[in-house]
Amino acid sequence: MAALAVIGPGLITAQADNDATGIATYSIAGARYGYRLLWVLVPVGIALAVTQEMGARLGIVTGKGLASLIRERFGVGFAAVAIGLLLIGNLGTTTADFAGIAASLEIFGISKFASVPVAAGIVFLLVTRASYRRVEKVFLVLSAFYVAYMISGFMAHPNWAHAMRSTVVPSFTLTGAFVLTVVAVVGTTVTPWGQFFIQSYVVDKNIDAEQLNYARGDVILGAFTTDLVAFFIIVATASTIFATGGHIVDAKDAAIALKPLAGRFASTLFGLGLLNASFLAAAILPLSTAYAVCEAFGLEMGLDRSPREAPIFYSVFAFSILFGAGVVLIPSVPLVKILFASSAVNGVLVAPILVFLYRLCNDVDLMGSRRNGKFANAMGAATIGLLILLTVLLLGAGIINPT
């Protein structure tokens, strides 16, 4: 029973992690470089498990959200920095999710000038009328769409020997495009909002410190699932699009990866899957951003307040939606590139958030005997170091060797 009650947060966060940006980023990685980036998934999976475990443990032991803890332990200045990073990352991801909505509906011949405003309206109503919860389960069930990639991955008859070798043997090219793709693969998995999300999730479930090990198992399972999905998306795209020398310019191109499974229905399947993933995140992100901002700064918040009582809360919420939808509506903006770019932005922004997480998990007053052990610290430090190294490489390679 206890195990059942706790299992969930890690898995759900993992589902949400593989949102539209995930689908797009892994697809692009596979289409551009074939199996070559598969090895990145190993350190990324470990990094995800380690950081999510730290976040879950921090939430379980302190009973407080990440925004609150950063404010309480590091003061208002650092809280402003952390929230600023979160805000930028979330605005990027929200934009990407509206781009995902637009791209998926374009497959069905619906113009983004029609789909995006309508989607923004639906998101706004779903959230403010609080009927979102009723449909959330539908979204989550539809996430089973990822299974399609696994089947398609097998049916495409990939070169398994090659794929497995690429998973264990790292290969790296110091060009701007390659490093950017690596950063994007990391940044679509380990994200600022994912850290805030997992922590508030366990806080709200009020999981007991005794059940820490179940939560850990769940988080690790979640990280593994995320990785597995990523693996198959890359394998499927590598053995279809990359193998035939194709490129991903818009969503229709990415759908080709599902051809071995779905044949001529590949586009439909892909479109629906992308739409679902985009909508799920577009509904969650603006609201969770607004909560984090108000939690950190001690401002009135909650949908049970009126906009007059909680002006900042509603402003952040509405601004996120308007910004995201607005950018996507710029006439010639490349939708798939937005999805990819937001992953890269999150990959750069997440390192400082992880520094806060690392410090908090080492705070004896806060965590007592449940503070980070040597293993968690080594892994956490390695993750942060790697992210910083990648950012530096990205800047360096981007300037010296952009392609």
Partner 1 sequence: MLYLSSYLGRPVLDAGSRRVGTVRDLTARLNGPYPAVMALRVRTGRHSHIDLSWNDVRSFETSQIILAANLQDLDPYVLGDQDVLLSRNVLDKQIVDLEGRRLIRVQDVQLSRTGTQLRVLGVDVSTSALLRRLRLRRLADRVAAGYPPHAVAWEDVDLGSWRDPNVRLRVARTGLRRLHPADLAEIAAALPPGEGAGLLAGLEDEVAADTLEEMSPEVQVRMLEALGPERAVQLLEEMSPDDAADLLQDLPREEAEALLARMDPKEAEDIHELLGYEEESAGGLMTTEVFSVLADETAQGLIERLRARAPDEEAAYYLYVVDEAERLVGVMSLRDLVVAPGEARVAAFMRADPISVRADEDKKEVVEAIMKYNLLALPVVDDQERLVGVVTVDDVIDLVGPRSWRPDSRRFLRR
Minimum Å distance from CB 288 to partner 1?
6
Residue 316 lies near partner 1 (rule: CB under 8 A): no
- For the bound state, the minimum distance from the C-beta of residue 68 to partner 1, rounded and expressed in Å, comes to 7
Backbone phi and psi for residue 249, each to the nearest 5 degrees, phi listed first? -105, -45
Nearest distance, CB of residue 297 and partner 1, angstroms: 6
- Residue 137 C-beta-side C-alpha neighbours within 13 Å: 3
DSSP string, 232-294: HHHHHHIIIIITTT---SSHHHHHGGGHHHHGGGHHHHHHHHHHHHHHHHHHHHHHHHHHHHH
Closer to partner 1 by Cβ: residue 35 or 193? 193
Question: Shortest Cβ distance from residue 239 to partner 1 (Å)?
Answer: 38
The answer to whether 356 touches 70, Cβ cutoff 8 Å, is: yes
Residue 283, C-beta contacts closer than 8 angstroms, at least 6 positions apart: 123, 126, 127, 132, 136, 139
Nearer Cβ to partner 1 (53/295): 295
* Distance between CA atoms of residues 103 and 108, nearest Å: 9
- d(C-alpha 78, C-alpha 53), whole Å: 23
- Give the interface segment with partner 1, choosing from 65-73, 115-123, 233-241, 386-394 (CB under 8 A): 65-73
Residue 158 or 352 having the CB closest to partner 1: 352
With CB under 8 A as the rule, give the number of residues binding partner 1: 33
Structure tokens belonging to residue 46: 């470990």
Which parts of 196-225 interact with partner 1 (CB under 8 A)?
Answer: 197, 200-201, 203-206
> Do residues 209 and 368 lie in contact, with contact meaning Cβ atoms separated by under 8 Å?
no
DSSP state of 172: -
CB of 249 to partner 1, least distance (A): 35
Provide, for the chain, the percentages of residues in helix, strand and coil under a 3-state DSSP scheme, each rounded to the nearest 5. Answer: 85, 0, 15
Q: For residues 29-58, which are near partner 1 according to CB under 8 A?
A: none
Q: Is the Cβ of residue 68 or residue 93 nearer to partner 1 in the bound state?
A: 68
Smallest distance from the beta carbon of 302 to partner 1, in angstroms?
5
Output the smallest distance, CB 146 to partner 1, in A. 22
Q: Is 284 near partner 1 (CB under 8 A)? A: yes
| 302 versus 402: smaller Cβ distance to partner 1 | 302
Q: Does 288 bind partner 1 (CB under 8 A)?
A: yes
Residue whose CB is less far from partner 1, 106 or 363: 363
- CA distances from residue 12 to 6, 9, 194, 200, 341 in whole angstroms, order as listed: 12, 5, 10, 13, 24
Q: How far is the CB of 25 from partner 1 (least distance, A)?
A: 25
User: Tokens for 42?
Assistant: 């190993």
> x/- site string to partner 1, residues 154 to 193, per CB under 8 A?
----------------------------------------
Q: Is 75 in the site for partner 1 (CB under 8 A)?
A: yes
Give me the amino acid identity at 3: A
For the segment 121-160, give every residue that binds partner 1 (CB under 8 A): 130, 132-133
Residue type, 55: G
Q: What is the smallest separation between the CB atom of 300 and partner 1, expressed in angstroms? A: 9
C-alpha–C-alpha distance, residues 140 and 318, integer Å = 24
Q: Which residues bind partner 1 (CB under 8 A)?
A: 62-65, 68, 71-72, 75-77, 79-80, 130, 132-133, 197, 200-201, 203-206, 284, 287-288, 291, 297-299, 302-304, 365
